[in-house]
């Protein structure tokens, strides 16, 4: 391999969206709803909303817009009511998700030899805010907003490589989701799987890749060791 840059999935791979959202929902709604169940329901709307864009039924829009639409659906499902200002503030929880403990030291180690960037369905402002919240240091921000489309469309991965003036096989996609890595590999990128077995709750995440990958590890620091 002649990898020169690593690009990362963010939601689930670098940040623990479920625990972060559940904590804020529990604090805001005071026992009216189970925060973890709310987080799961909100996340369940994620792929269907993006598919509206991928299929051309909606023009490209930033993920904040889709998350806000999805939030209205989930609030109605749980029979929770709040004003627009409260909904907008709750929607911003995606900008302050907490990272998994191994991420910041792992990124610092990897940055010694590789260029690093997120390759997320989150837009640039969202990625900047997550980086500042968690102390991530990026060399660039790539992903959906740059490509004007959503993963797993090939253009998202190819735009990430192009942003660094690199060939696809000089870039490694790092993710905790086999489907993301499968799509990246089909676009010509190298792939690394990071296990996040608790992403959807205890024992409810992917422990091993279900597709062929170049590297498979349990923690981000282990990826640095292998590379």
**Domains of the chain from N-terminus onward:** 5-16+98-226 (3.40.50.1000), 17-95 (1.10.150.240)
Distance CA 172, CA 174 (A): 6
pLDDT tens for the 227 residues of the chain, in order: 799 999 999 999 999 999 999 999 999 998 899 999 999 999 999 999 999 999 999 999 999 999 999 999 999 999 998 999 999 999 999 999 999 999 999 999 999 999 999 999 999 999 999 999 999 999 999 999 999 999 999 999 999 999 999 999 999 999 999 999 999 999 999 999 999 999 999 899 999 999 999 999 999 999 999 99
pTM: 0.95
Pairing of strands 142-143, 171-175: unpaired
Chain center to CA of 188: 20
| Cβ–Cβ under 8 Å, residues 155 and 147 | yes
Other CB atoms within 10 Å distance of the CB of residue 172: 25
Q: Which residues of 97-130 are buried (b: 16+ CB within 10 A; e: fewer)?
A: bebbebbbebbbbbbeebbbbbbbbbbbebbbbb
């Amino acid at each position: 391999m002649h990898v020169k840059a690593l690009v990362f999935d963010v939601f689930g791979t670098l940040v623990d969206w479920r625990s972060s959202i559940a904590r804020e929902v529990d604090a805001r709604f005071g026992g009216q709803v189970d925060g973890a169940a709310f987080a799961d329901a909100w996340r369940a709307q994620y792929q269907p909303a993006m598919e509206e864009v991928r299929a051309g039924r909606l023009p490209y829009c930033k993920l904040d817009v889709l998350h806000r639409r999805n939030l209205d659906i989930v609030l109605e499902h749980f029979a929770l009511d709040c004003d627009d200002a409260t909904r907008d503030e709750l929607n911003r929880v995606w900008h302050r998700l907490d990272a998994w403990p191994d991420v910041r030291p792992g990124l610092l180690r990897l940055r010694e030899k590789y260029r690093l960037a997120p390759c997320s369905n989150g837009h640039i402002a969202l990625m900047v805010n997550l980086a500042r919240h968690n102390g991530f240091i990026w060399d660039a921000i790539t992903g959906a907003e740059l490509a004007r489309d959503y993963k797993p469309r090939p253009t998202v991965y190819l735009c990430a490589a192009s942003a660094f003036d690199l060939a696809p096989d000089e870039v490694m996609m790092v993710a905790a989701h086999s489907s993301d890595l499968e799509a990246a590999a089909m676009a010509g990128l190298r792939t690394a799987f990071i296990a996040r077995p608790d992403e959807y709750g205890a024992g409810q995440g992917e422990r091993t890749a279900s597709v062929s990958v170049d590297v498979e590890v349990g923690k981000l620091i282990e990826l640095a060791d292998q590379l």
